[in-house]
Structure 1
Amino acid sequence: MLSKIPKQFYFFLTAIFILNVIQSSFTQLIFDEAYYWYYSQNMAWGYFDHPPMVAFLVKISSFFFNGELGVRFMSCVLSTINIVLLWLMIDNPKKNDYIKHFFVLIFSMTLLNAYGFFTLPDTPLLFFTSCFLLTYKYFIKNQTLALSVLLGIFMAALMYSKYHAVLVIFFVLLSNLKLIRNKYAWLSVVVALICYAPHFYWLFENDLVSIKYHLYERPNGAYSFEKYTLGFFVNLVAVFGLTFPFIYKALFKTKSNNLFNKALIYLTYGVILFFFVSSFNRRVQTQWIIIICIPLVVIAFNYMLHNKQALTWIFRLGIINTVIILYLRVGLAYQPLLFTFYYETHGNKEWATAIKDEVGNRPVVFENSYRNAPMYSFYTNGTPTFSLNNFMYRKNQYSIDNSEEKIRNKDVAYVSKYSKDNTFTYTREDGGIYKGKYIPNFQSYRKLECILKDNALLLNSDENIELKIYNPYKETIDLTKLKFAVTYMDDYKIPKETLAFVPEPTDPKTTALTQKDTTHFNFKLPKTNKENIGYFRVVISENNLLYGLNGKPIPIK
């Protein structure tokens, strides 16, 4: 099969691989990549925000290289193989005469291009979507035990990449409901579930933290047509750049004349429809719809081979896209090319080095920044860091791992935009300011858990509320070190007001939170004059730090 691919194809393929390796080496990390690098420092079957595949890729890359390429090398490899898989999905015998058109089509797709070297959860998602679809293509024609097992493995790999992968599996199944009665299809499901069992167990052990975050706790806001729904349509254009009219025309013109084409069409329309509906509830990020690039490469190229006008215009517009993308890619590594525009890849090594020169080998605590904490650690050779998340932010991987233990009882540098008594500051070239101070013998207890019944409560009532506080630490915590408050939030869980209260222990002799135990209290909701209150949560401040995220949001009637 691979031997039939012309040498010209391998020439273009090698050129793209080398370009991506060079780009990876000379472009600083973006914040999400640093966060996933942080994942890889403590390998697990799951993480707060995502399944573990992205961390696994970073870990493999680190075996071969250091620095940025040690984060991105496997992305370069997978994206290169992905191009081959896409080529193999196309059956038209004329395709060998239009190799350069195929590469222009792929390279001109903005995010498909970017994920050729960036290491993000969508990188393996794209790769395993192609693996899954190509295997399904052969499975349709010849249902064997080997293909069934392989299909199951790729379904599990998809789900290990990103939870959105369920859309790929669902819409392909929807395109061929006869699979419900197919024993080989069911075998694939069994294999996938067995392979995915370790992640299910991790979710169970961690109180379904990832599922709860994505379904209930992600930041959101009031609906805006411009930001949400119109923004969704802008994303549909941005994914393909100037070629978008012809890409979508190819989709409209393609008929589901066989099961594989039908799967591609269902997958594309299904993802678009799903996120269109989602856009009425939340802002749809561009990368969420990137899955459609895989079926649309196959659909668009097949259409190009049958339509000379589409072939000509996609090639011409794709060349323009390519030139723009190459210019921007150079700008990712060399900021002056972008004039006054600064992106995430600019200046990170510089600010991390500057703070390191100031604070020395002290661990650094970043308040409310799961982005800065891993970036600093990456560019300072693994300096211990911690993201201290408070009630104005959200939980993340630092909320559930052991990073807090590494900095407790240490003399730390504390970086916070809320701090007023700063010892040092650093101003980035893009205008961002880091403010810091030194804290000796740092103490935080962000994992203290405030437990209330989930039933809705009446605002400003005098009802006595039972509060349970679980102390997961190996030390007893004196109540005099703690302050308690209620944070009132609107319907979108945005904090509106935080009011202190003093809980009454059910046992009057209680003076501390016993280690690895639950302590019982009673309290009344503090009175508030704020309107449009939708939720509240109980929060704790330890040692005069800003209140944390200790309780779940509880609805207000």
Structure 2
Amino acid sequence: MTLSSTQKTTQPDKIIRYFLLCWTILNVIQAYTLELHADEAYYWMYSRFLDWGYFDHPPMVAVFIRIGDSLMHNELGLRLITVLTSTTSVYILWLILKKYAVNVWAFILVVSGTLIFHIYGFTTTPDAPLFFFAVLFYFFYQKYIVEDSWLLALILGVVLACMLYSKYHAVLLVAFTVVSNIRLLKRPSFYVIALIAIAFFTPHILWQVNHDYPSINYHLYERAVKVYNPENSYLYLPGQLLMAGPLIGWFLFYAAFTTKIKDAFIRCLMVNGIGTFAFFFFTTFRGEAQPHWTLIAFAPLIMLALIRFNQWGSLPKWFNTVAAINIFLIIGLRLSMVFGLPIVTRIGQIKSYYGFKEWAKTVNQKAGNAYVILDDGFQNPSKYNYYTNSLKGFSYDSRYYRRTQFEIWPIEEQMQHQRVYHLIDSLKPIVTDSVHVKAGTWYSYWIR
């Protein structure tokens, strides 16, 4: 029995819909059960002080959080828009790749086996909106290559502005896209795209001017290290392979960057993929390049890999088995985090997801309505504020710690001449009390 052409067309879409449903359910469960990462709490603080800019990043992440948090003040509420845009991004990737007759099962194996997609399926940082708007950009740019219309130019201009409002890394996608297709410069509509994007982004530019360019100074100068650390460079590639998938990452890179360039869109993906990964590798010579910074490059990476699979006509026999094991490992890790298995909750950054709700409650019982001051860091004050739904946590940074948005927010002025509760992580003679919880031990004393 053979399928009709209509059935052949609709069957993959039906499979994708079921996959997206499962993807969304898993992300909802993770978003609801897992405490906030330290950075997420910091960006929740952004949403309490909506502005055109912040010390570290543009404001789109604050908008994402404010929308969800206004519906429900819990972890799922904070992450709600990220969960929805993650599902939407995966679906848009599928729509883009339908032109290349990508196999639906290969698509599911690759997307669900890409570790970084799981991380940002629920984690809400500036990378989440950037990825969503980047995928949206590719979707409309694919159409714009074929159809030079004013409507598409308008849409691309708005999407480009949203990318810039998400994270400054968006500049890379714009630059590499133009490099991949210099003929764009001959289109009058191209300049309309640029003008629209600049017009919408102007409020953020003015914010930077009025605040003496804090983001530019921080990212270009303040975070650069004086002494080169080789570890940053030789750990970069393993980190990227891990983000692509613990077992299949190397194969995705190989497949993606051996893809035959047959049209302008594939060339765009290739230049963006290679260019972005190379750019962040070179940044390792001036400091650490965190593995997730390249999230914007994983959209072209997986699209190129899937296009290459189609060009090959068939995949190695081992791939399906290894890809299935790869997914099993990732899902196992995520479920272990949901159930809080000790073997997982003690791992590096994962530790940040546990114990701070109890910590905030315990500290609040001691501090009451007083301000709580912590030293060197934006993470813990932000977590305290989120879990007490207040703005009573504040950070005083030493000369050895970097500047943060706490230096701009008007919190310090409000706590002048008030009795405050100082929380520190080491035992000193002035200490009069302590907090012992799963998240750790802190020592404290009152300042009158």
TM range (shorter): over 0.9
Separation in structure 2 between the aligned mates of residue 134 and residue 311 of structure 1, nearest angstrom = 29
Distance 2:286 2:223 in 1: 12
Matched, 1:161 2:199: no
* Compared CA separation, residues 425 and 220, structure 1 to 2 (3 A): farther
Distance in 1, matches of 2:52 and 2:343, equals: 40
Describe the superposition over 1:441-486 as per-residue Cα deviations: whole angstroms up to 9, x where unpaired: xxxxxxxxxxxxxxxxxxxxxxxxxxxxxxxxxxxxxxxxxxxxxx
Gap runs ≥5 in structure 1? 441-557
TM-score by length of structure 2 reads 0.93
* Structure 2 CA distance for aligned equivalents of residues 428 and 267 of structure 1: 46
The aligned counterpart of 1:423 is: 432
Q: Is the 8 A contact 1:54 1:120 kept in 2?
A: yes
Give the secondary structure class of the aligned counterpart of 1:66: coil
Partner of 2:354: 346
C-alpha contact (below 8 Å) 2:51/2:59 kept by paired residues: yes
Give 1:49's match in structure 2, choosing from 34, 52, 56.
Answer: 56
Question: The residue matched to 1:335 in structure 2 has which SS?
Answer: coil
Identify, as 1 or 2, the structure richer in helix: 2
2:370 to 349, 362, 367: 362
Match of 1:310, SS state, is coil
The secondary structure found in structure 2 opposite 1:387 is strand
1:65 aligns with 2:48: no
Q: Secondary structure in 2 aligned to 1:292?
A: helix
Contact 2:391 2:411 in 1 (8 A): no
In the aligned structure 2, how far is the partner of 1:102 from the partner of 1:311? 15
In the TM superposition, what is the alpha-carbon distance from 1:49 to its structure 2 partner?
0.3
Compared with structure 1, are the counterparts of its residues 312 and 203 closer, same or farther at alpha carbon in structure 2 (3 Å cutoff)?
farther
Determine helix, strand or coil for the equivalent of 1:239: helix
What amino acid sits opposite 1:405 in the alignment?
Answer: E
Cα distance in 2 between the residues matched to 1:242 and 1:297: 15
- Using the alignment, how far apart are the partners of 2:73 and 2:255 within structure 1? 43
Q: 1:333–1:346: 8 Å Cα contact kept in structure 2?
A: no
CA separation in 2, counterparts of 1:282 and 1:20? 32
Pick aligned residue for 2:35 from 28, 35, 45: 28
Which residue identity does 2:435 align to in structure 1? Y
Report if aligned partners of 1:427, 1:434 keep a CA contact under 8 Å in 2. Answer: yes
1:429 is displaced (CA, Å) by 3.0
Give the secondary-structure state (helix, strand or coil) at the position aligned to 2:247. Answer: helix
Measure, in 2, the Cα distance between the counterparts of 1:375 and 1:304: 44
Q: Establish whether residue 121 from structure 1 lines up as the match of residue 114 from structure 2.
A: no
Question: Which runs of 5 or more residues in structure 2 are unaligned?
Answer: 1-8
- Change in CA separation of 1:313 and 1:52 when aligned onto 2, cut-off 3 Å: farther
Residue 230 of structure 1 aligns with an amino acid whose one-letter code is Y
Aligned-partner residue type, residue 386 of structure 1: F
Q: In structure 2, how many angstroms separate the alpha carbons of the residues matched to 1:172 and 1:94?
A: 23
Q: 1:433 aligns with which of 408, 419, 441?
A: 441
* Of 409, 412, 419, the match for 2:420: 412
Match of 2:409 in 1: 401
Greater length-normalized contact order (CA 8 Å, ≥ 6 residues apart): 2
8 Å Cα contact 1:172-1:263 kept in structure 2: yes
Aligned residues of 1:21 and 1:117 also touching (Cα < 8 A): yes
The Cα of 1:365 is off from its aligned counterpart by 1.0
Structure 2 vs 1, CA of residues 312 and 127 (structure 1 numbering), >3 Å: closer, same or farther?
farther
Instruction: Give the drift of 1:311.
Output: 6.2
Q: 1:375 aligns with which of 383, 394, 401?
A: 383
Spell out, residue by residue over 1:480-506, the C-alpha distance to the aligned partner (whole angstroms, 9 max, x if none). xxxxxxxxxxxxxxxxxxxxxxxxxxx
Provide the residue aligned with 1:183 in structure 2: 188
Q: Distance in 1 between matches of 2:284 and 2:271?
A: 20
Q: 1:143 aligned to 141, 148, 154, which one?
A: 148
Q: Aligned residue for 1:85?
A: 92
Query: Is 1:236 equivalent to 2:240 in the alignment?
Result: yes
Number of aligned positions between the proteins: 434
Percent sequence identity over aligned pairs:
31
Which residue type is aligned with residue 284 of structure 1? A
The 2-side partners of 1:340 and 1:51 are apart by 31
When residues 348 and 333 of structure 1 are mapped into structure 2, their CA distance, relative to the original with a 3 A threshold, is farther
Distance 2:252 2:80 in 1: 30
Q: CA deviation at 1:141?
A: 0.2
CA–CA distance in structure 2, aligned partners of residues 301 and 434 of structure 1: 50
Whole-angstrom CA distance in 2 between matches of 1:391 and 1:89: 49
Change in 2 beyond 3 A, CA 1:398/1:383:
closer
Aligned to 2:3: none
> Matched residues in 1 for 2:186 and 2:344: separation?
60
RMSD between aligned residues: 1.8
Instruction: Sort the Cα spacing of 1:61 and 1:220 in 2 relative to 1 into closer, same or farther, 3 A.
Output: same
Partner amino acid, structure 1, of 2:393:
T
Rg comparison, structure with higher value: 1
Tell me which stretches of 4 or more aligned residues in structure 1 moved more than 6 Å: none
Question: How far, CA to CA, are the matches of 1:311 and 1:89 in structure 2?
Answer: 24
Is the contact made by 1:35 and 1:374 (CA closer than 8 Å) also made in structure 2? yes
Structure 2 residue aligned with 1:207: 212
User: Does the CA-based 8 Å contact 2:114-2:249 persist in structure 1?
Assistant: no
1:112 corresponds to which of 111, 117, 128: 117
Q: Which residue of 2 aligns with 1:472?
A: none
The answer (yes or no) to whether the contact 2:419–2:447 under 8 Å persists in 1 is yes
What is the letter of the counterpart of residue 199 of structure 2?
I
> Structure 2 CA distance, aligned partners of 1:390 and 1:278?
26
Structure 1 letter corresponding to 2:431: N
Q: Secondary structure at the match of 1:91?
A: helix
Q: 1:336 offset after TM fit, Å?
A: 2.5
Aligned counterparts of 1:219 and 1:410: Cα–Cα separation in 2 = 37
Aligned-pair CA distance for 1:340: 6.6
1:61–1:313 distance in 2 versus 1, CA, 3 Å: farther
Q: Any conservation in 1 of the 2:260–2:308 contact (CA below 8 Å)? A: no
Q: Which residue of 1 aligns with 2:5?
A: none
- CA drift at 1:337: 4.7
Q: Any residues of structure 2 matched to 1:441-460 within 5 Å, and which?
A: none
